[in-house]
């Protein structure tokens, strides 16, 4: 019962210092580890800004592979609000029943297909396909487009041998440029068209701004959803009793999703740049240096969560930061929540057992911390529930 | 059965009834503008912030520490603030008025 465990790599540093340090391309990062500190820093966008040089708040830094500012992610208030107000209603569409029906159809197809195989490599054959197909619903574009994205592989920016692959990133950026031009010539009902038709803060969005929103939408929801889906399959493989619990209590699926997000923390951390000399946990942070808000550590803070290293699917009070916190909380959270909710509900309905046959863990290297965030590969045998 | 009055984000007064569940769930079921309840009621998202009418504070009660920690970082917090996912509906709440806090 060890294969699906995601250990808390930060416990000792969180308890003793409250911070950690990681080197990144000569731009070191002070990682903030405790839940309250993470929330305070996330809230304080004036001192810990997102609107730094594009790519710098991402860790590892993308300043060498990206010039386009991701929007609204890398814009601070007050300009942030206009962008966020424009696109928030679009990103709340997952609350509509038609949208949920489309997601359910995509998810049921993948589960039904998996039940017919002797073995499924979950990262590439299940999670990547699910993420890509679901993204067509979020963008409101034809389903077939997902085939191209699936062909790009598991990571938008990463190749086998490097964490940051400029050539691979260029594929995405060039693709988005072409899609914006194509939509401008023939307006449809997609997110591209919404952005092309809109004004923010009194003026039409530039192509660069539209590109910034689209890069965020593609990149922010790729590894994260793949990690969340793959970890969910691994967890339920080793906890069939939890699947039964969900099948018997379908009403608990939404709080179960929150607990899975807390435990998995699909995005380990996100950076900010200090705008002034300040301090975090009594450690000096100099102006123009980076901190990171370590969601993964905060979500295991024993001062807030009872039994933080256990998945308690019906955890009632769960103030996790798996979708971030404050001004820049996750734009795609509504989509991700619905996707995971439908996924675990359908798994509970259709699947009796999942058996892990082999796995290769994806362990991130953050200086003094090595954190398992998911899997490079996970081979699973799915068996149908018999009624 | 408890009658609960919401004053939504458009300043419109709406009174609804329930006998169980959380106040956030009641608000979402009745489409109260300004109450989103994104996290489903686990005190993670702070999208169900209300101000309790001063005279109703005794009936509703104060926030616990975890809820207070969330509220503390909300720009519109005051002494009457609650996250209504953490308020359970009972007879005791009959007649209370909750004003949706501004974003």
Distance of residue A254 Cα from the nearest chain B Cα, in angstroms? 6
A205 conformational bin, left if phi > 0, alpha if psi -120 to 50, beta if neither? beta
Q: Using a CB-CB distance cutoff of 8 angstroms, which residues of chain B are in contact with residue A258? A: 39-40, 42, 44
Q: Using a CB-CB distance cutoff of 8 angstroms, which residues of chain A are in contact with residue B40? A: 254-255, 257-258, 337
- Cβ contact, residue pair B45, A323, below 8 Å: yes
* Buried/exposed B11-48: b ≥16 CB within 10 Å, e otherwise: eeeeeeebeeebbbbbbbebebebbbbbbbbbbbbbbb
B16 touches chain A (CB under 8 A): no
B22 touches chain A (CB under 8 A): no
CB nearest to A334's CB, from B38, B70, B73: B38
| Residue A256 counted as domain residue | yes
CB nearest to B44's CB, from A40, A318, A326: A318
Query: Using the 8-state DSSP alphabet, how is residue B88 labeled?
Result: B
- Cβ contact, residue pair B42, A258, below 8 Å: yes
How many A-B residue pairs are in contact by the CB < 8 A criterion? Answer: 45
The string of pLDDT tens digits covering residues B20-62 is 999 999 999 999 999 999 999 999 999 999 999 999 999 999 9
> Can you give the C-alpha Rg of chain B in angstroms?
12
> What is the ipTM, given to two decimal places?
0.94
Total domains in the fold of chain A: 1
B73 touches chain A (CB under 8 A): yes
The residues in B 26-55 lying below 8 A from A, measured between CB atoms, are 38-45
> Cα separation of A78 and A86, whole Å?
14
| Residue A186 counted as domain residue | no
- Cβ contact, residue pair B43, A258, below 8 Å: no
The string of pLDDT tens digits covering residues A140-199 is 999 999 999 999 987 766 665 676 777 878 899 999 999 999 999 999 999 999 999 999
The range of the structural domain enclosing residue A336 comes to 11-139+218-379
How many CB atoms within 10 Å of residue A339? 28
Which positions ≥6 away from A299 have C-beta within 8 Å? Answer: A35, A262, A263, A265, A305, A308, A320, A321, A322
| Residue A387 counted as domain residue | no
Distance of residue B55 Cα from the nearest chain A Cα, in angstroms? 27
The candidate with the shortest Cα–Cα distance to A335, out of A75, A88, A109, A50, is: A88
Q: What is the dihedral of CA A240, A130, A294, A46, to 10 degrees?
A: -140
pLDDT value at position A27?
A: 97
Report percent pLDDT > 70 for chain B: 100
- Secondary structure of chain A in HEC code, one letter for each residue: CCCCCCCCCCHHHHHHCCEEEECCCCCCEEEECCHHHHHHHHHCCCCEECCCCCCCCCCCCCCCCCCCCCCCCCCCCCHHHHHHHHHHHHHCHHHCHHHHHHHHHHHHHHHHHHHCCCCEEHHHHHHHHHHHHHHHHHHCCCHHHHHHHHHCCCCCCCECCECCCHHHHHHHHHHHHHHHHHHHHCCCCCHHHHHHCCEECCEECCHHHHHHHHHHHHHHCCHHHHHHHHHHHHHHHHCHHHHHHHHHCHHHHHHHHHHHHHHHCCCCCEEEEECCCEEECCEEECCCCEEEECHHHHCCCCCCCCCCCCCCCCCCCCCCCCCCCHHHCCCCHHHHHHHHHHHHHHHHHHEEEEEEEEEEEEEEEECCEEEEEEEEEEEEEEEECCC
Mutation test of the interface with chain A: which of B20, B33, B73, B76, choosing the one with the most A Cβ atoms within 10 A?
Answer: B73
The candidate with the shortest Cα–Cα distance to A362, out of A117, A163, A168, is: A163
> Cα separation of A351 and A247, whole Å?
10
Q: Using a CB-CB distance cutoff of 8 angstroms, which residues of chain A are in contact with residue B43? A: 317-319
- Cβ contact, residue pair B66, A319, below 8 Å: yes
Low-confidence residues in chain A, pLDDT < 70? 1, 156-161, 163
| Residue A34 counted as domain residue | yes
Residue ranges with strand state E in B23-95? 49-52, 81-83
CATH number for position A105: 1.10.630.10
Q: Using a CB-CB distance cutoff of 8 angstroms, which residues of chain B are in contact with residue A257? A: 40
- Cβ contact, residue pair A333, B86, below 8 Å: no
> Cα separation of A34 and A297, whole Å?
7
Find tokens 């308020």 and name the residue. Answer: B87
Distance of residue B90 Cα from the nearest chain A Cα, in angstroms? 18
| Residue A174 counted as domain residue | no
> Cα separation of A237 and A353, whole Å?
6
- Cβ contact, residue pair A40, B73, below 8 Å: yes
> Can you give the C-alpha Rg of chain A in angstroms?
20
CATH of domain B2-100: 3.10.20.30
Beta bridge partners of B22: B88
- Cβ contact, residue pair A318, B39, below 8 Å: yes
- Cβ contact, residue pair B42, A321, below 8 Å: no
> Cα separation of A44 and A49, whole Å?
8
Distance of residue B26 Cα from the nearest chain A Cα, in angstroms? 15
pLDDT value at position A47?
A: 98
pLDDT value at position A201?
A: 84
């Amino acid at each position: 019962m060890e294969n699906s465990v995601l250990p808390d790599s930060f416990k000792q540093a969180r308890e003793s210092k409250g911070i950690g340090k990681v080197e990144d391309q000569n731009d070191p990062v002070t990682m903030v580890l405790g839940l309250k500190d993470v929330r305070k820093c996330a809230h304080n966008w004036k001192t810990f800004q997102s609107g730094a040089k594009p790519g710098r708040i991402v860790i590892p830094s993308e300043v060498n592979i990206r010039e386009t500012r991701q929007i609204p992610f890398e814009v601070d208030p007050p300009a942030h609000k206009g962008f966020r107000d424009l696109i928030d209603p679009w990103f709340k569409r997952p609350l509509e029943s038609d949208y949920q029906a489309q997601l359910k159809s995509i998810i049921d197809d993948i589960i039904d297909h998996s039940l017919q195989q002797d073995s499924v490599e979950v990262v590439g054959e299940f999670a990547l396909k699910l993420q890509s197909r679901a993204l067509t619903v979020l963008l409101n574009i034809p389903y077939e487009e997902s085939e191209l994205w699936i062909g790009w592989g598991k990571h938008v920016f990463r190749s086998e041998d490097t964490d940051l692959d400029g050539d691979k990133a260029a594929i995405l950026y060039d693709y988005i440029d072409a899609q914006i031009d194509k939509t401008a010539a023939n307006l449809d009902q997609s997110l591209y068209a919404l952005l092309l038709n809109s004004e923010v803060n009194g003026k039409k969005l530039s192509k660069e701004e539209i590109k910034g929103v689209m890069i965020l939408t593609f990149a922010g929801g790729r590894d994260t959803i793949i990690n969340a889906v793959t970890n969910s399959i691994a967890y339920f493989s080793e906890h069939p009793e939890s699947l039964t619990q969900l099948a018997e209590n379908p009403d608990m699926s939404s709080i179960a999703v929150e607990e899975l997000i807390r435990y998995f923390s699909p995005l380990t951390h996100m950076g900010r740049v200090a705008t002034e000399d300040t301090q975090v946990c009594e450690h000096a942070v100099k102006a123009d240096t980076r901190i990171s808000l370590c969601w993964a550590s905060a979500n295991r803070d024993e001062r807030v969560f009872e039994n933080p290293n256990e998945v308690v699917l019906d955890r009632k009070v769960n103030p996790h930061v798996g979708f971030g916190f404050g001004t820049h909380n996750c734009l795609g959270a509504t989509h991700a929540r619905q996707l995971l909710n439908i996924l675990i509900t359908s798994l509970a309905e259709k699947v009796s057992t999942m058996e892990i046959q082999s796995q290769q863990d994806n362990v991130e290297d953050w200086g003094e911390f090595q954190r398992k965030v998911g899997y490079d590969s996970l081979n699973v045998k799915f068996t149908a529930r018999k009624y | 059965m408890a009658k609960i009055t919401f004053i939504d984000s458009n300043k419109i007064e709406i009174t609804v009834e329930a006998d169980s569940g959380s106040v956030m769930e009641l608000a979402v079921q009745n489409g109260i503008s300004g109450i989103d309840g994104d996290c489903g009621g686990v005190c993670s998202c702070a999208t169900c912030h209300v101000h309790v009418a001063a005279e109703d504070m005794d009936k509703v009660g104060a926030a616990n520490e975890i809820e207070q920690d969330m509220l503390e970082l909300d720009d519109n917090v005051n002494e009457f603030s609650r996250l209504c996912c953490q308020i359970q509906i009972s007879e005791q709440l009959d007649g209370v008025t909750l004003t949706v806090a501004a974003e």
